[in-house]
Structure 1
């Protein structure tokens, strides 16, 4: 429950009418909101580069849901400035609306964070087919769902009745120690960040791909640790939530950290899907990439050490009645001529190459 300001504190608030964090709130919400939109659009563009059209899978939908919760959180946090947020408590213009928006923010934060992590877990599941690993993913997903529901409910019912959040004159009203609730939620959030970060590393090391690509994958996953840093910062500010006498001012740093944390979370969930964009820019253009891949495949199949240089048999099949292929002239030709070549292979090397190709396709 929030403390009641002392006479000395009230005097301090009155002596500092120009203290104002409203520009900081608006700037943070604007920048993080726009950046999150860009991250989502880049993710959809990456899907388009793979499939030639925007194909949205389950991990994308989970992140889109997270973005919707984040957008509500972001907008409501910015709207709190209209009712006194970002200024000292004596300058609040509508305590009821301010607290309602705060309750919306506390709830949408929980669900946005949960869906971000569910999206990351789904990406892991798409990459790694191990059944044991999938059981771990399901366990973590269930835990995140329980985390979101538990702390969302505690935010709604932090005061009984709910109206006691903004009307302390209600007889018999009381509030829980919401600051301890925020600290518990923050600690569990950081713990799940760390677990999700390290979960795929043992499986990445077992992939049939080059060491360089393994390191690139681990680095992409490790970028999610940047959200852990913001979570630690938010945890430090969260200790004041629910216990300060000047919540409209003292709780703002925690709110700003929450906006940044969710924005970084959306980025962290999207980075593993950006590989097609990275390859496009590294190869100059999609056309150059396609042509290079085609030429590389021809060279590999023609010169691969796993194939014998000698062709065992070559068969030509013609659809013409005379059994001879027609001589090609100028223009466009339609032919039913088929040439089939059968090669001898070294089974072990060929199987190893096939597994490597399969792993790389799943990573793409």
Structure 2
């Protein structure tokens, strides 16, 4: 009990455990995705891979700050139990993590949009995706800059609480609420993009439902965003910030890390299918086509002979293919072929599936 007979509350360890656990899981998922693609499938990394990696890199200091910065300086305790010096340090670290959050949020959405661009190559949907990418980049830049310069001088952000310093700040509540509201609306729009394309896929109903459910898992992130929005009610005007902002820090951390995990789910399914093909009802060979390249391919034909250097002399037959984007079922219904190629070698036009496919 405190001197005023209020119970001593402490949720510091809860935040540390949740933040560290989610940080480790999201890091493992991203690194497995990258290492599998680079060292096993031997495919080039796409823009979505680079952006999700950048999101993770920014997440590392966020996780460390949650543990060694905000939690170590009173987050999760009542402010009257925290020494004055620690309150100031807590708000300093909270300022840093707020800026990182706005940047991570935009990068996370950008990674998903680049993924959509890769698996939905149609010109009409590409225009929509590019428009959304542009909006997301502007959204991220605007709120990151606003978060950095929300107070003048900047240090007034963490000295405002003691009433002994002079300065001005924008409406911090409005900044947090508007970011959360726009983010939720953008999440809903980004869910519509892939679901709108399912109508045009020639897949069995159960396959369409499976794809829809995979994308709908992302709605969990939207739910977390709504919970975070509720925690922002007393964000700027709290008289007990070290306690009230615990929920803001928690839901912000959950939102980013769960978002990273959800963004890696399609890639993780490819890896799991490769490891457990029978359990997931598909073939590992077909799944590996997800990472293949398409363009001009060479095929070796004829008999080879040894040339004395340990290398065989062979006749090389080159075929050039015209890339034609479309959507059709593979024979076993396991994949959606998103790119077709027409043989332009002059001996008839034969169609084959490129490896650029979205595994279901």
TM-score by length of 1: 0.73
My pick for the range that moved more, 141-150 or 101-110, is: 141-150
2:221 and 2:258 in contact (8 A); partners too: yes
Q: How does 1:51-90 map to 2 (within 5 A)?
A: 52-53=41-42, 55-78=44-67, 79-90=69-80
The RMSD of aligned alpha carbons is 3.4
Give the C-alpha shift of residue 115 in structure 1. 0.8
My pick for the range that moved more, 276-285 or 91-100, is: 276-285
Considering fraction of residues, name the structure with more helix.
1
Determine whether 1:283 maps to 2:277. Answer: yes
2:212 to 207, 218, 227: 218
My pick for the range that moved more, 250-259 or 84-93, is: 84-93
Taking the aligned partners of 1:252 and 1:42, their CA distance within structure 2 comes to: 31
My pick for the range that moved more, 139-148 or 184-193, is: 139-148
Which segments of 5 or more consecutive residues in structure 1 lack a partner in the other structure?
1-10, 294-316, 321-333, 337-350
> 2:227: which partner in 1?
233
Name the CA shift for 1:258/1:14 in 2 (closer, same or farther; >3 Å). Answer: farther
Taking the aligned partners of 2:89 and 2:174, their CA distance within structure 1 comes to: 24
My pick for the range that moved more, 76-85 or 262-271, is: 76-85
> 2:135: which partner in 1?
143
> 2:112: which partner in 1?
120
Name the CA shift for 1:24/1:54 in 2 (closer, same or farther; >3 Å). Answer: farther
1:46 and 1:273 in contact (8 A); partners too: no
Q: Secondary structure at the match of 2:18?
A: helix
Taking the aligned partners of 1:357 and 1:30, their CA distance within structure 2 comes to: 37
> 2:358: which partner in 1?
363
Q: Secondary structure at the match of 1:251?
A: helix
Name the CA shift for 1:81/1:269 in 2 (closer, same or farther; >3 Å). Answer: same
Give the C-alpha shift of residue 189 in structure 1. 0.7
Relative contact order higher in (CA < 8 Å, ≥ 6 apart): 1
> 2:156: which partner in 1?
164
> 2:188: which partner in 1?
194
Q: Secondary structure at the match of 1:60?
A: helix
> 1:179: which partner in 2?
173
Q: Secondary structure at the match of 2:337?
A: helix
1:113 and 1:262 in contact (8 A); partners too: yes
Taking the aligned partners of 1:163 and 1:227, their CA distance within structure 2 comes to: 32
Give the C-alpha shift of residue 217 in structure 1. 1.7
> 1:303: which partner in 2?
none
Q: Secondary structure at the match of 2:100?
A: helix
1:190 and 1:231 in contact (8 A); partners too: yes
Name the CA shift for 1:252/1:142 in 2 (closer, same or farther; >3 Å). Answer: same
2:12 and 2:76 in contact (8 A); partners too: yes
Q: Which has the larger radius of gyration?
A: 1
> 1:38: which partner in 2?
28
Instruction: Describe the superposition over 1:48-102 as per-residue Cα deviations: whole angstroms up to 9, x where unpaired.
Output: 68x5347422111100101112222222122212222221223144344222211
Name the CA shift for 1:59/1:14 in 2 (closer, same or farther; >3 Å). Answer: farther
Give the C-alpha shift of residue 148 in structure 1. 1.6
Which segments of 5 or more consecutive residues in structure 2 lack a partner in the other structure?
288-301, 306-311, 315-327, 339-352
Aligned length: 303
